[in-house]
Amino acid sequence: MKRSVLLWWAMLSALFISACGGKNGLQDPAVLSSREVSHKEETENTGSSGIPIRIFHSDDSGEILCVSMARTEEITPEILLLNLSLYHMVPDTASVQSFEQKEQEDGLLLTLDLSGDFKTYLSGLDASGEKAAMGSLVNTFLDAYQGESILITADGETLNTGHGVYSEALELYPYEEASYEIESKELLKSGIRISYPQIAGLSIGEIQEKWNEIIEGHARKALRDAEEGSSLEVSYVIKTKNDRMLSILIEGYYSTEGAAYPTCFRYTYNIDMNSGESIRLAYVRDADELAKELLAGKGYQVEGELGEEFKERLTILYGDEEQLADALRDFDYGENRETPAGFSYHQDGKVHLCIEVPHALGDYVDVILE
């Protein structure tokens, strides 16, 4: 299948491979043999050991709940409480009296009974401090046990602090979803502007360093390789940002001197923030089943005005079901994938495909998988 941006992708992909291995000591993103990877394999990839857990706590202002990553050999209420005490969200004298999990129709209900000094601690805080302490406790336990709600008591009695009475089960408090930030960087040269993201504050430094080098390396190589007199503009959009995944869409256009129109391009990064792996489409969807659904016109939506003719366009672009499945397996950057057949990204829990179409139709169409 011919691609108008084949040279562009090849340029980026070649750098991707060199940036992930060789002299700088970084490893190529591994291609998983199955969707389920043991925890032992993940910890070997990151150089860290233990089970990753998220500890919620207030920021420096005391008004916003944020997240920090920690690792533990096992998840217990006592270990979660200890980690919360390190951020002064609970007193270090607080202890777990009892803890239970009960499956209900609307999800898992947790019940946590703490010692009376937790109530004493909360009662000594102002309203905003109490909200931060309760939010950090609620969110840390719900996140660790994948619970829907949690009922918290003290010495077996309803928690009453003077600011609030917590007689019912509580759900997640609002919080900043990621324990890291994305900083925007920019490269400028005559007629060329490239904006690119950099990860900051990630607790696993090896992953942050690896992906920052890959992303910045792509940007710098694009700047070096742009022909004299050409125009190149690159920007990015963060599609998903949390402690499990970072999904970034890079988009822009490239135009050589004398070209009738600029070439639009898209490529993506989908990063597992715990293992440092590149998440490819084939890791999250079965390519054969997906090809069958796409050609049958089922299980997806198409943004824009090409919905009605998309199935026909797929046949023109990719051929039959087998050829489409082969292309889908080749989506997204991975080990020794110098020219992926396409790219995907993740937004609001759904997978989006970036499918190339003729320039007259807008260069790309966004396909949202259900």
Flag whether pLDDT at 329 surpasses 70.
yes
180-197 burial: b if 16+ Cβ within 10 Å, else e:
beeeeeebeeeebebbbb
Instruction: Give the Cα separation of 90 and 56 in Å (integer).
Output: 12
pLDDT value at residue 34: 29
Give the rounded percent of residues in the chain with a pLDDT score beyond 90. Answer: 51
pLDDT tens-digit readout, 156-186: 999 999 888 999 999 999 887 787 889 999 9
Residue 313 banded pLDDT, cuts 50, 70, 90: confident
- For residue 79, is pLDDT > 70? yes
> Which run of H or E residues covers position 325?
helix 321-329
Q: Are β-strands 107-114 and 149-154 bridged in parallel, bridged antiparallel, or unpaired? A: parallel
Rounded CA-CA distance 218/15 in Å is 6
* pLDDT of 32 strictly over 90: no
pLDDT for the residue 312:
76
Condensed to tens digits (0 to 9), the pLDDT of residues 1-14 reads 433 333 444 444 43
Q: Mean pLDDT throughout 136-158? A: 96
pLDDT at 146 over 50: yes
Quote the pLDDT of residue 163. Answer: 85
Residues 294-314, mean pLDDT to the nearest whole number: 79
Q: Is the pLDDT of residue 95 over 90?
A: yes
| 227 Cβ contact partners less than 8 Å away, ≥ 6 residues apart | 256, 257
Split at pLDDT 50, 70, 90, the class of 292 is: very high
Helix (H) or strand (E) run with residue 365 in it: strand 364-369
Q: What angle do CA 236, 238, 244 make, to 5 degrees?
A: 140
244 vs 281, higher pLDDT: 281
The whole-number pLDDT of residue 265 equals 87
pLDDT given for residue 98 in this prediction:
97
| 13-22 mean pLDDT | 34
| Predicted pLDDT of residue 6 | 38
Per-residue pLDDT, averaged over 338-344, amounts to 84
pLDDT at 11: 41
Q: Which whole-number Å values give the CA distances from 43 to 26, 51, 365, in the listed order?
A: 16, 8, 37
Give the mean pLDDT of 19-38. Answer: 31
- Give the integer Cα–Cα distance in Å for 276 and 181: 16
Q: Quick one: pLDDT at residue 274?
A: 87
User: Mean pLDDT, to the nearest integer, of 353-366?
Assistant: 81
Per-residue model confidence (pLDDT) at position 258: 76
What local confidence, expressed as pLDDT, does residue 25 receive?
A: 30
Kindly report which listed range (5-9, 35-39, 144-148) carries the lowest average pLDDT score.
35-39
pLDDT at 74 (0 to 100) = 94
Q: Is the pLDDT of residue 331 over 90?
A: yes
Q: Write down the mean pLDDT value for the chain.
A: 82
> What value does the mean pLDDT take over residues 360-369?
83
Mean pLDDT of 175-203: 88
Which percentage of the chain shows pLDDT scores above 70? 84
- Residue 335's pLDDT band (cuts 50, 70, 90): low
With bands split at pLDDT 50, 70 and 90, how would you rate the model's confidence at 338? low
pLDDT-derived band of residue 100, with 50, 70 and 90 as boundaries? very high
- Separation in Å, CA 368 to CA 127, 266, 351: 43, 16, 6
Supply the pLDDT for residue 131: 93
Return d(Cα 12, Cα 188) in angstroms, integer: 18
**What's the length of the chain?**
370
Buried b / exposed e over 14-44, threshold 16 CB at 10 Å, is ebbbbbbeeeeebebbeebeeeebeeeebbe
Residue 309: how many CB atoms within 10 A of its CB?
13
